[in-house]
Structure 1
Amino acid sequence: MTDPPLSAIRNIGIISHIDAGKTTVSERILFYTGETHRMGEVHDGLATMDWMPQEQERGITITATATCCNWRDIRINLIDTPGHIDFTMEVERSMRVLDGAIAVFSGVEGVQPQSESVWRQAERYRVPRICFVNKLDRVGSDHEAVLAQMERRLGARPLLLQLPVGSEAAFSGVIDLLDRQMITFADTDLGMTVTRQELPDSFREQAAVAREKLVEAAADFDDTILTDFLAGEDVSAERLRLAIRTGTLACSVFPVLLGSALRNKGVQPLLDAVAFYLPSPLDVPPVTGKNTSTGDEVSIPCTVDAPLCALAFKVVAEEGRKLTYLRIYSGSLKPGMALANGSRGRFEKVARIFRMHAHRREAADHAGAGDIVAVTGFKDVLTGDTLCDPSLHLELAGMNVPEPVVSLAVEPKGVDDREKLLPALDKLQWEDPTFRVHEDRETGQTILTGMGELHLEIIIDRLARDFGVGVKTGRPQVVYRETVARGLTHREVFRVEQEGKAVGGEVLFSLKPLERGAGVQLSLDRLNDGALSNDLKNALAEAMHKGCAAGGLAGYPLTDLAIEIIEAPFEQGVTSEAGIRAAAQRGLIRALKDAGVVMLEPVMALEIITPAEATGRVIGTLQQKRGRIEGIDGLGEMEVIHALVPLAELFGYMTELRSATKGRGTFSMEFDSFVNAPQELRLKFGL
């Protein structure tokens, strides 16, 4: 495959709420670009991008899947991301390495909770987006309502580039406002034949009004358009595209296109928009990293002539070996190259390079700046690690990893399963930074912690299918947090005699509760210079952080807590690293007992779609679960209930909701915050 110029590469992702049609859009993109020769359908379990058995059975995307294809003279590296909140890390790591994204919205449901979550993730990484309002063939679809929701709920400025031809079941094509043409898609060949024709008279007035709004928006990014607009001059489509591209790259406007992917309408103009408006690797700001030797910030130019720098954004365990996905920011990569892992201070060697097409591999003899590829041969690389030329001493910024909130106790079914369980869990932890494993100190049980019930269900399923490990599970448990009830100052002196010699450490520190969501804040600023060596200071800080992570009086991690180290006297011949660590960790537990702890429980934001006649019953079930109703919106014959409910009350809620709504209700949820747990929970833990 001939390498395209950097300006002809688009690294994009498809993001949305679950069931908005991301994977269906992806399948059409692969078909129309010639990458596949038949369309796989999600409902048939035959989608190319949903290749895992768990995805095919459930009809949802679980893991971010990469592929590449060509549209006209553009190479598109495409990542299809999950829409379920339990797999939000897949979206997070994709956003970290992508240059642009397609946000898909259902024309019926509009902006949904996970739509907001993925939008915020894209905002955090300043990823330019174009939007596709899907399912316009469905009863109740309304693209104008979706635009209003984008403005209200996302704070975005959508820019409508098309109008629909027909509505609901009569939807047959779109009006291109830039070129003032009607675009239709042939039903006889799965939409492959795209026909552009002159604007029908019945649409001329409506299109003129809509195009005027578009020109006004484009004028914000090109003063000459503003001048011509005020003078009543016509503005060409090409000038408008350049202005809209400027606004899109700045994340100031978000072009909106319309269609129905399942009915094969609107996807080719969407591909044109990817080429027109989304950035190439040259259009985004150069990535910056830290020189691990000097601590200086370094800018990485996107060119194949520079030393290699890449980020490992995904690691997959395949047949016991690691397949590592890389986004290459500079330089070129070849098999046999030795690279430095700037995040871990180790060296790795590239065995083979692949371009991925879902789970199918295409071997490549090289890759360059701007590429997304997969590599074998790495042994110790994990998600977020920097791979670079050994001369660079470079580390790129990592990723924001959300905290898991649900745990599950497991034990192997048989003797063979016992031997295979921990190695299999290790491999699953390679892949997923939001999946954690630890042993309960009291019961000796293996505890799995994840983002939700579905997340852990998939883990258990994969243990059986992929690794041949059978396990018995307990009921899912909530992962609580602890914080201090009041502030105090505590001094801890640790002394022990070893081989006739005193060894120990001493530390004076204060604890202070912080507002919810503040996390753990540790300060050593008050330590006198020279009181402790840097190694001992690092040991003290590490001991405090580990003590907070290990858990407080009930065994749950500490949060929303300020720890200030006031004194840490150094006694020649006595103070040691082990002594400092022991004093810090023992002192932290004793201080918690004196200060008292507050249990915090996770609260989830729910969006429930229910028939209007069942709204009262649904609200009743939520109130029984200590839920708080935040608002109710109308959605045709349905109503949308927004509520905050403790996670502990939501296990098995889908069954209750189906009963209350006669099977017609659905809900989605995402983590909102930690709040003070009820008194009965404190009593349960003896606090």
Structure 2
Amino acid sequence: MTHQAAEVAKRRTFAIISHPDAGKTTLTEKLLLTGKAIAVAGAVKSRKSDRYAISDWMAIEKQRGISITTSVMQFPYRDHIVNLLDTPGHEDFSEDTYRTLAAVDSALMVLDGGKGVELCSIALTDVCRMRDTPIVSFINKLDRNIRDPIELLDEIEAILKIKAAPITWPIGCYRDFKGVYHLADDNIIVYTANHDHHKNTKTELIEKLDSDRARAYLAEEYDNFVEQLKLVQGACHEFNQQEFLNGQLTPVFFGTALGNFGIDHVLNALVDWAPGPLARFANERTVDPVEGKFTGVVFKIQANMNPKHRDRIAFIRICSGRYRKGMKMRNVRTGKYVRISDALTFFSSEREQLEEAYAGDIIGLHNHGTIQIGDTFTEGEKLGFTGILSFAPELFRLVRLRDPLKSKQLRQCLLQLTEEGATQVFFSEGSNNIILGAVGMLQLDVIASRMKEEYKVECFYEPITVYSARRIDCRDKKKLEELSSKVIENLAIDGSGHLTYLAPTRVNLAQMEKLWPDVKFLAALERY
């Protein structure tokens, strides 16, 4: 095995997905603790605490106690390099999560043991299924009252349409939670409550369920647990590595993120069972991760990770080859070459410059407005990686400045913030109107907050009659000119420079599509 192949084999790149409030960010922190990447976790349960989640670095994230942008964290664990992406839990930011899922090789799904499968879990699992992404499941909050574990597994199978194979099984819950039984290893991992935000070092094992120690520990619950276990082993699927890799089966672990329990089982499973960097599909060909030439795709852009410098960082998933400091890369979309000597590796908002990186790693490039989500970088080959989607917004607001003298700042900050893809901006062709489009209200709240906090620009946001935005694709210049002359008041240029039709109603959009058959009105654009 070559040095490059050995380095690629060490990589594990996965995203954490869940419904809001399932405990995803807390689990992220405890994974970092287990990997010894941090010494103390943020107290995400308390807004009054002066500690916040490591992965939640924006001011509004700290104020609301939620994740609203993907965070990237890299750390070593058991001779491997783990690239962990903590995705937004709120459904308004699903587009960011979808793009992140296109950049990973596996996913860790967090379920609230008291609530089971929820709406966002269904949508995100569907995205994983589109790419056959392997999923590890963690049923959280065993230190609270949970539903019957067998019911939870049945729900995973019935609703998410994926086989569930329990690896550990809970012994009680809430005040009666005693730990978990590892089905394959035949041992009990004893639960010791540990809510002090430090790594749990008090793990105690009881070897073999059929032992005097196990009987003494479980006491009067022993016989009932043994009977329950027989039912579980008879009714549930056994873990199958190939089915897991095919995205057909999910190994299920039980624990409590807040109590620092069961986290090491999950991390070990991701290292031992989840795939390393996988081949990536481009329009031209399939790209193997151990190829010698560098290729990568931009799946995220983040503005103001360092507010003092107004920086913008483009996140690139390396698909093949090796990044070397000072190498030349080609942005396939623009055709231009750039020499990169300051690529970054990440730990949430903290970063440091890289000397080298391999397929599976996430690196950051400083962006001065020339990089877009979906851009492919190579050492010269013309490639376009697929799967990075942009969706049509569903909620629109007219932007009005409180201070008219800040119009230049408004345009600049909107262009920078909407580069990130969570919201879209449209500059009207028939007037001076600036319109924001988003999937949900929280996205608009975040833009307003960040404009005020990061750019010192305050605005009014007024409702506007826009049903949907459609990017226009027309090869016939005369038809395009004719369209522009007739509906100029409904046309706008979006933040990426694309001509867009802002349809006032569903009926209007249907009429336009019928009247202009030579014009494509694109709802979702796959960026090549």
Tell me the C-alpha RMSD between the 2 structures. Answer: 3.0
Question: In the TM superposition, what is the alpha-carbon distance from 1:10 to its structure 2 partner?
Answer: 0.7
Question: In the TM superposition, what is the alpha-carbon distance from 1:196 to its structure 2 partner?
Answer: 1.9
Match in the other structure for 1:145: 151
C-alpha deviations, 1:318-359, integer Å up to 9, x for none?
333331111111111123322211233333332412110000
Structure 1 residues 560, 165: CA separation in 2 closer, same or farther (over 3 Å shift)?
Answer: farther
1:26-65 counterparts in 2 under 5 A?
26-45=28-47, 46-65=52-71
1:156, 1:253 within 8 Å by CA — same for their partners in 2? Answer: yes
Match in the other structure for 1:309: 295
Among 186, 198, 201, which residue is 1:192 paired with?
A: 201
Identity across matched positions, percent: 26
Give the Cα separation in 2 of the matches to 1:250 and 1:35: 30
Give the Cα separation in 1 of the matches to 2:46 and 2:480: 51
Question: In the TM superposition, what is the alpha-carbon distance from 1:542 to its structure 2 partner?
Answer: 6.1
1:10, 1:280 within 8 Å by CA — same for their partners in 2? Answer: yes
**Alignment-mate amino acid for residue 33 of structure 1:** G
Question: In the TM superposition, what is the alpha-carbon distance from 1:117 to its structure 2 partner?
Answer: 1.3
Match in the other structure for 2:173: 167
Match in the other structure for 2:375: 385
Match in the other structure for 2:501: 550
Give the Cα separation in 2 of the matches to 1:559 and 1:309: 40
Bigger shift: 181-190 or 381-390?
A: 181-190
Match in the other structure for 1:362: 352
Give the Cα separation in 1 of the matches to 2:388 and 2:273: 26
Structure 1 residues 165, 190: CA separation in 2 closer, same or farther (over 3 Å shift)?
Answer: farther
Give the Cα separation in 2 of the matches to 1:406 and 1:329: 34
Question: In the TM superposition, what is the alpha-carbon distance from 1:559 to its structure 2 partner?
Answer: 5.1
Higher relative contact order (CA 8 A, sep 6+): 2
Match in the other structure for 2:10: 8
**Alignment-mate amino acid for residue 509 of structure 2:** L
Question: In the TM superposition, what is the alpha-carbon distance from 1:43 to its structure 2 partner?
Answer: 2.4
1:60-209 counterparts in 2 under 5 A?
60-187=66-193, 191-198=200-207, 199=209, 200-201=214-215, 202=222, 203-209=225-231
1:440, 1:446 within 8 Å by CA — same for their partners in 2? Answer: no
Match in the other structure for 1:457: 445
Give the Cα separation in 1 of the matches to 2:33 and 2:503: 54
Structure 1 residues 447, 148: CA separation in 2 closer, same or farther (over 3 Å shift)?
Answer: same
Structure 1: gaps spanning 5 or more residues: 219-239, 291-296, 483-518, 523-535, 567-583, 589-687
Question: In the TM superposition, what is the alpha-carbon distance from 1:458 to its structure 2 partner?
Answer: 0.6
1:340, 1:387 within 8 Å by CA — same for their partners in 2? Answer: yes
Structure 2: gaps spanning 5 or more residues: 216-221, 492-499, 521-528
> What TM-score do you get using the length of structure 1 for normalisation?
0.65
Give the Cα separation in 2 of the matches to 1:59 and 1:465: 17
Bigger shift: 416-425 or 429-438?
A: 429-438
**Alignment-mate amino acid for residue 206 of structure 1:** Q
Structure 1 residues 363, 558: CA separation in 2 closer, same or farther (over 3 Å shift)?
Answer: same
Structure 1 residues 563, 184: CA separation in 2 closer, same or farther (over 3 Å shift)?
Answer: same
Give the Cα separation in 1 of the matches to 2:440 and 2:100: 20
Question: In the TM superposition, what is the alpha-carbon distance from 1:140 to its structure 2 partner?
Answer: 4.2
Question: In the TM superposition, what is the alpha-carbon distance from 1:416 to its structure 2 partner?
Answer: 4.0
Structure 1 residues 449, 553: CA separation in 2 closer, same or farther (over 3 Å shift)?
Answer: closer
1:309, 1:388 within 8 Å by CA — same for their partners in 2? Answer: yes
**Alignment-mate amino acid for residue 350 of structure 2:** R
C-alpha deviations, 1:387-413, integer Å up to 9, x for none?
1111x1111114222221111222111
Question: In the TM superposition, what is the alpha-carbon distance from 1:541 to its structure 2 partner?
Answer: 7.4
Question: In the TM superposition, what is the alpha-carbon distance from 1:417 to its structure 2 partner?
Answer: 2.5
1:148-547 counterparts in 2 under 5 A?
148-187=154-193, 191-198=200-207, 199=209, 200-201=214-215, 202=222, 203-213=225-235, 217-218=237-238, 244-281=240-277, 284=278, 286-290=279-283, 297-303=284-290, 305-318=291-304, 319-376=309-366, 379-390=369-380, 392-432=381-421, 434-439=423-428, 441=430, 444-474=432-462, 476=463, 479-481=466-468, 537-539=475-477
C-alpha deviations, 1:404-456, integer Å up to 9, x for none?
111122211124422311111010121125423333846x4322111111110
Give the Cα separation in 2 of the matches to 1:430 and 1:520: 16
C-alpha deviations, 1:177-225, integer Å up to 9, x for none?
01111012443675233222122242444334434555xx44xxxxxxx
Corresponding residue pairs, total: 481
Question: In the TM superposition, what is the alpha-carbon distance from 1:537 to its structure 2 partner?
Answer: 4.5
Give the Cα separation in 1 of the matches to 2:272 and 2:475: 53
Give the Cα separation in 1 of the matches to 2:509 and 2:297: 31
**Alignment-mate amino acid for residue 418 of structure 1:** S
Instruction: Say which one has the larger Rg.
Output: 1
C-alpha deviations, 1:89-130, integer Å up to 9, x for none?
111111011000000110111111111111112112221101
**Alignment-mate amino acid for residue 372 of structure 1:** I
Give the Cα separation in 1 of the matches to 2:173 and 2:180: 11
**Alignment-mate amino acid for residue 40 of structure 1:** G
> What TM-score do you get using the length of structure 2 for normalisation?
0.83
Question: In the TM superposition, what is the alpha-carbon distance from 1:314 to its structure 2 partner?
Answer: 0.9
C-alpha deviations, 1:9-42, integer Å up to 9, x for none?
1100000111111100001001111110101121
